[in-house]
Amino acid sequence: MNGRRTFSQGGVARFLLVHLWIRLRKGTDMAYFIAPWYRVRADENTLVFRHGDRYTVFEGAAVVPAVKAVTEKLLVTKDSDKAIESFDESSRSVAKKIINKLVQLNVAVKTWETESPTAMSLREKLGEIVPADEIESSLEGQRVGVISDRTLSKVATSVLKSLLDDVVILDTVSPENAEAELDSMESDRMIVCAPSSDTSKLLLAVNKWALKNSRSWMQVLPFNGSRATVGPLFIPRETGCYNCFRLRTLSASPSVDEAMAFDRGTELPGQEHTSETWSSPAEDMVVWATAVGLLQQEVLDLSNLPLTPLRGQCHTLSFTPGGVDIKKHRLFKVPRCLECQGANLPLPQPWPTILVEGIQ
């Protein structure tokens, strides 16, 4: 089942909201505090907030100063009514509209939350079915290691270090050296592979190492001209492996060139949108905020829930003139995958070449 979120323009300011499961809350009650947030960037024409793994962007020289003023008042007063009253009468209607927009975006909430922004975001995604203290305790010990055959962008590095407490980045790693680099990471560190292209041989090397050592890992594939892919989290013996992902992707692709590129581990013919040439900070922010959010949700223990969510979530992100289009997928094992399933199924298997030659 696919879900879709579209982010578009509206009003005198353009609000870009990056969040997979945001709930727009309607209401006119003005007794709100502002939730924990962090200012990522601020200049004359742009104001960017981070709340959990969500980013809200205000643009426009006429709008940004007003939003700055209102949020600063909210932080001081911690009460929306008092914040509005602190403005002169001619400005109060504008302040009220801004706070209403913050409420819609779930940046302003009814109580002053003491939990971290990331925990608040996860609690929203899960429909508050997991207590906040359990989410906090799970996130406290989370350690992540990122491996790549390129140098990660400044935006990706910034998002990782702002949303994760303990992250190690190994870049410019060749497929031949991947095993040694991965062995150097602590056994409790979650592995994220962020290759330069979605056909990189580094993915095969990481998959082989993970299956050999029974380690979970997640992929973040860059924009390839049509989509960027986040996830799934590959868990040995529980979800499909990367080779399962390749087989299912190729079975759904009508392109012979794509199939051949996957098999060779090379770029698609004429491909111009790999991570090396992709230079949009906003789109990079979307991909990595989505990746961190998915990773943090997947590591939670949800086994005691009445309906335990299936593992193997995968999201594809397409960037269009209308905004960001996110579709949800799920990876299942391929029964005859020779990487994670082996050839021990009671089904006819292809003859190995050496046996065929011996018979002849």
Locate CATH 3.90.930 in the chain.
Answer: 33-109
Residue 350: count of CB within 10 angstroms of its CB: 9
Rg of the chain, C-alpha, whole Å: 23
CA 148, CA 136: separation in Å to the nearest integer? 29
Q: What pLDDT was estimated at residue 259?
A: 60
Residue 134: count of CB within 10 angstroms of its CB: 13
Closest CA to 227 of 197, 248, 203, 201: 197
DSSP 68-108: HHHHHHHHHHS-HHHHHHTS-GGGHHHHHHHHHHHHHTTSE
Closest CA to 324 of 287, 292, 294: 287
Locate CATH 3.40.50.720 in the chain.
Answer: 118-330
Q: Three-class SS of residue 278?
A: coil
Q: What pLDDT was estimated at residue 311?
A: 76
Whether residue 108 contacts residue 56, with contact meaning beta carbons closer than 8 Å, is answered with no
| DSSP bridge partners of 118 | none
CATH assignment of 33-109, among 3.90.930, 3.90.550, 3.30.300, 1.10.760: 3.90.930
Whether residue 333 contacts residue 340, with contact meaning beta carbons closer than 8 Å, is answered with yes
Q: What pLDDT was estimated at residue 3?
A: 40
Q: What pLDDT was estimated at residue 44?
A: 66
pLDDT averages per 10-residue partition of the chain, 360 residues: 37 32 33 51 66 65 80 75 82 83 70 54 60 65 85 83 82 88 87 86 91 91 83 86 85 64 54 47 78 77 61 81 75 81 54 45
Closest CA to 320 of 228, 252, 232: 228
The residue assigned the tokens 């046996």 is 355
pTM: 0.60
Closest CA to 163 of 57, 56, 49, 50: 50
68-89 burial: b if 16+ Cβ within 10 Å, else e: ebbbebbeebebbeebbeebee
Q: What pLDDT was estimated at residue 284?
A: 78
Encoded tokens for 323: 């905004």
Q: What pLDDT was estimated at residue 207?
A: 92
Its CATH architecture, for the domain 118-330, is 3-Layer(aba) Sandwich (3.40)
